[in-house]
Amino acid sequence: FVVGLAGTPPEAVDKMRPISQLMDLSPVLNEELLALSQAVARETFAFRISVLQTMLPNALKATYERVLTIVDEVSEAVQARLFRGLDQITFRVSDWSEEDIAKFAQLRRTHQIEQTIVVSDRAKPKTQLAYQLSTDIELLESAYHALPKTAKKKAALLGFILGHLGETWRKKVLQQQVSVSDATLNQAVQANWLAKVQVEQLRDPFATTTIAPSKPLTLNTEQQHAFDQIKLSADRGQYQPFLLAGITGSGKTEVYLQAAQHVFDQGKTVLFLVPEIALTPQMVRRVKARFGAQTAVLHSGLSDGERYDEWRRIERGDVKIVVGARSAVFAPLTNLGLIIVDEEHEATYKQTDNPRYHARDVALWRGRYHQIPVILGSATPSLESRARAQRGIYQRLVLTQRAGGASLPPVTVIDMKTMLSDGPETNFSAPLLEKLKACLARGEQAVLMLNKRGFSSFVMCRDCGFVPRDPNCNLAMTLHMDSHTLKCHYCGHEEPIPTRCVNCGSSRIRYYGTGTEKVAAELAELLPDARVLRMDQDTTRKKGSMDKMLQAFGDHQADILLGTQMIAKGLDFPDVTLVGVLNADTALGLPDFHASERTFQLLTQVSGRAGRAQKAGEVIVQTFNPTHYAITYAQQHDYEGFYRQEMAVRHAGNYAPYFYTVQIQASHTEENEAAKQMFQIARWLRHRVQADVIILGPSPKPIAKLRNRYYFQIILKFKQRTGLDALLTELQNRAQKAKHGLQLSIDRDPVSF
């Protein structure tokens, strides 16, 4: 990437290469995005190049087709002649002839060129055959008069050309207009009546779906108030983050859409972020229904080509609103007027690879740059955002009622400790099964969620629901069958697996975990007539399959939608009157201080799927921890109550939003070496940080070994960022220069550990 020119040549100028070719006629990143790349690099301790890579569609990144490495055996003479002495050479083979490639294959064999890495070609726009019609009236007319009477097809073609002089027609469309054969077209080309050309064909991922247009609804009082505040800030041209805290089904989406319309009326554009592909189909439909073809969609389910085309449409200013998941926050929209971050609490907004940016933070940065409103919407705002609203950094807007007049469904909590017998294992308590049967008998639909988030590898007392926690951090410990221990992956504390529960003395300690497939099989036995749609990572791998499944469910082609947490959010089906949560506890077992928050969010979100329209709904939650506050507050639909209690817990444990967290993780092929170097880093830090910075670890990561690398982490907790950023940047640079085989990365405010 050439991002600028220095006034004076740098020291190692002889090692630099000249720019050989300009790839793009205009820069692929504008001034804003270039500035943003710098800010993100600084904030995430990433290298700028990795941020630039993230900002561009895949298709624009692979600039070389093949990279070749040559081993020492290649004689210097050959090297000099063929490869100008370089040991690693990059070729562009796009303009090579067949002969060149054959010759090269021979060279590879004789000179033992070690490795050929094929990188995908840089995307080109997809083209289609088209015909440009001639403008030469004289030629066309004389040809017309010279035609024999029998040449009806040719006459028709010439007539069409004369009526559309100079126009470009795609072949398919042209043949629909005048039914001429390929042979006739070829003869017409020969005669210069028209010429073959290639035109760009945009790949539209929604080309095959039709979406009925929707009209704005009349806002209710709360929606109107929220809309007015956003409008005010848009009209003033001021940066203002809003926290739109609206219960599930309160009509947040309608507020987004009308705010977007207001911004379009000002001639500006909108960026609309959604957490993940799971939510995208229904949300995309709703945006497309309102704004039609002016909508661009960017999400990870697109092919590289589709993504590139959407990116180009945005860059050219052909679209007004971009809907997309995390990386869409870098969409090259100019003239931005509004940014919406739906379900702002979702962990998927944080990238877990370098650069470890949070899309919400990037959205706020862009909002400030453009001086516009940014709406963060959620039924269960993250504690961080809610706390910021408390301090007036965000303006809080509330929607407390369901928009269509429906009410929130009653939630029944089933204590599984009293339900399970020593008989055969079942995932269904009697009350849930009964409700399920009744729901299906009424001809209505049910959603069942099996929460699989996190690890199945934690232990729980079967009698009292107790999950062993570590004494230092009060976090659930992870089960390690190899060493027969429980470990805290936060601080490194380790202890043997208990044989008796420390809470109640029971010996019925077991590990928890079950799969959707198993549950589906059980359902087939319990309710043989029910039509069950199973939705999880396995059944939705194929592109578009999730959208199809949801459509099918919406069309009543199934009675029960059974899935992992991917079904918890955003789905809006009027006939769903029963929601069952099979195991509310799994997230509580996460070795992470977000465990309660995630549980509360998930239960609230999934409960929100029931009774959204005329028909009243209800929710059944199965749990071993019926008195846990995350579960009781979710049962009462009491976000504010949960917020207050959880803030007290965070305060006591020195967690966010009271403390910042930075996670330093590193991996090495040798376990000892990884540990040794991480201890050195911890010592290095201890000598340099201020006294109030808490340093935990190093300890092994929850997944301690991956692809033959050993992972360790150090956690820093601190109240003020002063000085620490510079220190961490220095650490990152040192690690980069030191060739000790340690791969290090620094993660600010990690969303999981």
Residue 581 is a binding residue for ligand ADP (CB under 6 A): no
Residue 465 is a binding residue for ligand ADP (CB under 6 A): no
Residue 248 is a binding residue for ligand ADP (CB under 6 A): yes
Dist. CA 92–CA 21, nearest whole Å: 12
Residue 697 is a binding residue for ligand ADP (CB under 6 A): no
Q: Under rule CB under 6 A, how many of the chain's residues touch ligand ADP?
A: 16
Q: Which of 440, 449, 473, 678 binds Zn ion (CB under 5 A)?
A: 473
* Residue 310 interacting partner from Zn ion, ligand ADP, none (CB closer than 5 to 8 Å by kind): none
Residue 404 is a binding residue for ligand ADP (CB under 6 A): yes
DSSP assigned state of 674: H
Nearer to Zn ion, 303 or 752 (CB): 752
Q: Which two tokens stand for residue 669?
A: 């092929």
Q: Which two tokens stand for residue 505?
A: 């003395």
List, as one string, the DSSP characters of 501-547: -TTT--S-EEE----HHHHHHHHHHH-TT--EEEESTTTT-STTHHH
Residue 469 is a binding residue for Zn ion (CB under 5 A): no
Q: Which of 253, 382, 667, 713 binds ligand ADP (CB under 6 A)?
A: 253
Dist. CA 179–CA 304, nearest whole Å: 35
Name the minimum Å distance from CB 577 to ligand ADP.
15
Q: Which of 43, 254, 547, 747 binds ligand ADP (CB under 6 A)?
A: 254
Determine contact, residues 688/632, Cβ cutoff 8 Å: no
Nearer to ligand ADP, 43 or 343 (CB): 343
Q: Which two tokens stand for residue 377?
A: 């919407």
Sheet holding 694-706, edge to edge: 694-706, 709-718, 660-668, 743-748
Q: Which of 57, 241, 251, 702 binds ligand ADP (CB under 6 A)?
A: 251
Q: Which helix (H) or strand (E) holds 396?
A: strand 395-399
Name the minimum Å distance from CB 250 to ligand ADP.
4
Binding part of the chain for ligand ADP, among 40-48, 215-223, 385-393, 661-669 by CB under 6 A, reads 215-223
Q: Which of 572, 618, 638, 725 binds ligand ADP (CB under 6 A)?
A: 572
Binding part of the chain for ligand ADP, among 28-36, 249-257, 626-634, 723-731 by CB under 6 A, reads 249-257
* Residue 491 interacting partner from ligand ADP, Zn ion, none (CB closer than 5 to 8 Å by kind): Zn ion
Q: Which of 37, 54, 134, 223 binds ligand ADP (CB under 6 A)?
A: 223
Task: Please confirm whether the linkage preceding 381 is cis (ω < 30° from 0).
Answer: no
Q: Which of 49, 101, 173, 217 binds ligand ADP (CB under 6 A)?
A: 217
Residue 470 is a binding residue for Zn ion (CB under 5 A): yes
Q: Which of 68, 140, 414, 488 binds Zn ion (CB under 5 A)?
A: 488
Q: Is residue 439 part of an annotated ligand binding site?
A: no
The site map against ligand ADP for 134-173 (x = CB under 6 A) is ----------------------------------------
Q: Which amino acid is at 555?
A: D
Residue 89 is a binding residue for Zn ion (CB under 5 A): no
Residue 569 is a binding residue for ligand ADP (CB under 6 A): no
Dist. CA 655–CA 641, nearest whole Å: 19
Nearer to ligand ADP, 427 or 604 (CB): 604
Residue 261 is a binding residue for ligand ADP (CB under 6 A): no
- Measured CA distances, 683 to 677, 679, 713, 743, 745 (Å): 10, 6, 14, 18, 17
Residue 126 is a binding residue for Zn ion (CB under 5 A): no
Given CA atoms 552, 554, 555, 559 in this order, what sign does their dihedral have? positive
Residue 250 is a binding residue for ligand ADP (CB under 6 A): yes
Nearest to residue 584, comparing CAs of 634, 637, 534? Answer: 634
Nearest to residue 721, comparing CAs of 744, 692, 697, 745? Answer: 692
Q: Which helix (H) or strand (E) holds 77?
A: helix 76-78
Buried b (16+ CB within 10 A) or exposed e, 658-682: ebbbbbbbbbbeeeeebbebbeebb
Residue 219 is a binding residue for ligand ADP (CB under 6 A): yes
Q: Which of 493, 531, 615, 688 binds Zn ion (CB under 5 A)?
A: 493
List, as one string, the DSSP characters of 200-258: E----TTTT-------PPPP-HHHHHHHHHHHHHHHHT--EEEEEEE-TTS-HHHHHHH
Dist. CA 268–CA 262, nearest whole Å: 9
Q: Which amino acid is at 271?
A: L
Binding residues for Zn(2+), by number, are 461, 464, 473, 488, 491, 501, 504
Binding region for ligand ADP (CB under 6 A)? 217-220, 223, 246, 248-254, 403-404, 572
Binding region for Zn ion (CB under 5 A)? 470, 472-473, 488, 490-491, 493
